Amino acid sequence: MSDTTENAARAGDEGIESYRESVAAVRELLGGRRVYAYILTFGCQQNEADSEKLAGMAEQMGYTLCDEPDIASLIVVNTCAVREHAEKKALSVIGQFKHCKRRNPGTVIAVCGCMVSQRHRAEELKERYPYVDLSFGTSDLRLFPSLLLERLKGGRRSFTLPPDRPPVPEYMPARRALNYRAWVSIMYGCDNYCSYCIVPYVRGRERSRSPEAVEAEVRGLVESGCLDITLLGQNVNSYGRGCGFGCDFPGLISRLSRIPGDHLLRFMTSHPKDATRELADVMASSGHVARQFHLPAQSGSDRVLSAMNRGYTADEYIGKVSYIREKLPGCVLTSDIMVGFPGETEEDFAATLELMRTVRFDMVYSFIYSPRGGTPAASMPDQVPEDVKGDRMRRLLELQTSISAQINEGLEGRTMRVLCCGPSRTDAGMLECRTEGWKQVLVPAGSLEEGRYADVEITGTGAFTLRGTPADGK
């Protein structure tokens, strides 16, 4: 083992003894009784991945996971802070759990995640939600067993705020919902400070897991039959920066690509300022990286991009896209676009539409800007009126819908390999499948098996969904 590897392993083990002792002590307190834990998750994939760890730890401590808060002795709410609205929703749901506590005073209610990483929210919970027992932020998940233990032993309620330099622990087990699809966090936090975003303030400074730890997790998943693995980070392109691993993100992708198996790797999110040619080169030479690239542009106006602190111009963005398309023909390209950022003029918005016409994204996740307290953009002058934002969003959607529909039309009659993902939530009697580029294909239920790859013939297309039938005519 090199010095760096040893250091990384040591860092990953920091706190492991106290963690194990707490897990064992909670198990002992539960005394082999059947007790239930209910975990509710708000927010992004990173939060979903965190909840899988919370579920893994709960099981390790002796709880049985359930879908019903009324029977739970442990209720965990994993919160989001990306918008004020998300926080209000979480607070309202937490409020409803006071009835569970009233019925069963022994129930422990824990609140974690981005919302409670903010001091004012942690204080609000402490003062105004007396039935909440403990809270801890995203960088303190490892403390879950010890905080729970203290409370179960009759200790005081505790509301923990994130440390300045959190460790990157490797000993928390994950309880994954599916065996054929998985998220793997490769890094935590963000150093980018986009002017509209709260994430750096609630998830802390950027820190990466060691390449050895990531490889071990991915290898284990592949060996257990997982077919689709998404590497997660707020900005995966800065993986390893400042960590002394000697391995950057393209290096990590190269390393993971050597794991044999019939699986695909994908990643999100990629920040355009840090997406390199080398990454596209590595993707092109790997047999295991999906031809899918989510590259959030946010705006096509250089003036707005600068006010957003994004660190690239529209031309630089387009240049990166051209290189990706050259190296990865057929790559599905998606983006995030925000409308109504403070000071956005009609001319700025026209530049965004122009960028969309030039790039022709397969799909765009569009957002109307809403001020997020605690971020620089919230106090910028020239906030755009709501009716103007709404009108711009309507025009953006109209354009993107027509581009997506045209692109998808070209897939009609093709045979595509898809991953069968389970019953459609919107179309009864249909199975939702996903192409390599993660386009949704609906296939009649019963014709294919969930959790397997299959070839389907595309028989119908629309802007958002494709329809298909098994290629062998089954």
Judged by CB under 6 A, does residue 235 bind ligand SF4? yes
Q: Which of positions 312-331 make contact with ligand SF4 (CB under 6 A)?
A: none
Smallest gap from Cβ 271 to ligand SF4, in A, equals 5
SS (H, E, C) the chain: CCHHHHHHHHHHHCCHHHHHHHHHHHHHHHCCCCEEEEEEECCCHHHHHHHHHHHHHHHHCCEEEECCHHHEEEEEEEECCCCHHHHHHHHHHHHHCHHHHHHCCCCEEEEEECHHHCHHHHHHHHHHCCCCCEEECHHHHHHHHHHHHHHHCCCCCEECCCCCCCCCCCCCCCCCCCCCEEEEECEECCCCCCCCCCHHHHHCCCEECCHHHHHHHHHHHHHCCCCEEEEECCCHHHCCCCCCCCCCHHHHHHHHHCCCCCCEEEEECCCHHHCCHHHHHHHHHCCCECCEEECCCECCCHHHHHHCCCCCCHHHHHHHHHHHHHHCCCCEEEEEEEECCCCCCHHHHHHHHHHHHHHCCCEEEEEECCCCCCCHHHHCCCCCCHHHHHHHHHHHHHHHHHHHHHHHHCCCCCEEEEEEEEECCCCCCEEEEEECCCCEEEEECCCCCCCCEEEEEEEEECCCCEEEEECCCC
Burial of 350 (0-12, 13-18, 19+ CB in 10 A): middle
Nearer to ligand SF4, 193 or 464 (CB): 193
Smallest gap from Cβ 192 to ligand SF4, in A, equals 4
Smallest gap from Cβ 370 to ligand SF4, in A, equals 14
Residue the block writes with tokens 């569009």: 366
Residues in contact with ligand SF4, shown as a per-residue x/- string from 271 to 290 under the rule CB under 6 A = x-------------------
Smallest gap from Cβ 237 to ligand SF4, in A, equals 10
Judged by CB under 6 A, does residue 56 bind ligand SF4? no
Smallest gap from Cβ 351 to ligand SF4, in A, equals 20
Smallest gap from Cβ 234 to ligand SF4, in A, equals 4
Out of 56, 200, 343, 451, the only residue in the binding site for ligand SF4 (CB under 6 A) is 200
Smallest gap from Cβ 274 to ligand SF4, in A, equals 9
Nearer to ligand SF4, 83 or 151 (CB): 83
Q: Which of positions 243-272 make contact with ligand SF4 (CB under 6 A)?
A: 271
Smallest gap from Cβ 359 to ligand SF4, in A, equals 19
Smallest gap from Cβ 198 to ligand SF4, in A, equals 8
Nearer to ligand SF4, 108 or 275 (CB): 275
Nearer to ligand SF4, 166 or 468 (CB): 166
Judged by CB under 6 A, does residue 370 bind ligand SF4? no
Nearer to ligand SF4, 334 or 440 (CB): 334
Nearer to ligand SF4, 131 or 361 (CB): 361
430-435 and 440-444 beta bridge pairing: antiparallel
Q: Which of positions 169-198 make contact with ligand SF4 (CB under 6 A)?
A: 190, 192-194, 197
Judged by CB under 6 A, does residue 46 bind ligand SF4? no
Nearer to ligand SF4, 311 or 451 (CB): 311
Nearer to ligand SF4, 272 or 468 (CB): 272
Smallest gap from Cβ 114 to ligand SF4, in A, equals 11
Q: Which amino acid is at 83?
A: R
**Residue 186 phi, psi (nearest 5):** -105, -15
Judged by CB under 6 A, does residue 234 bind ligand SF4? yes
Nearer to ligand SF4, 47 or 235 (CB): 235
Nearer to ligand SF4, 112 or 190 (CB): 190
How many residues lie near ligand SF4 (CB under 6 A)?
A: 10
Out of 199, 268, 283, 304, the only residue in the binding site for ligand SF4 (CB under 6 A) is 199
Contacts with ligand SF4, residue ranges (CB under 6 A): 190, 192-194, 197, 199-200, 234-235, 271
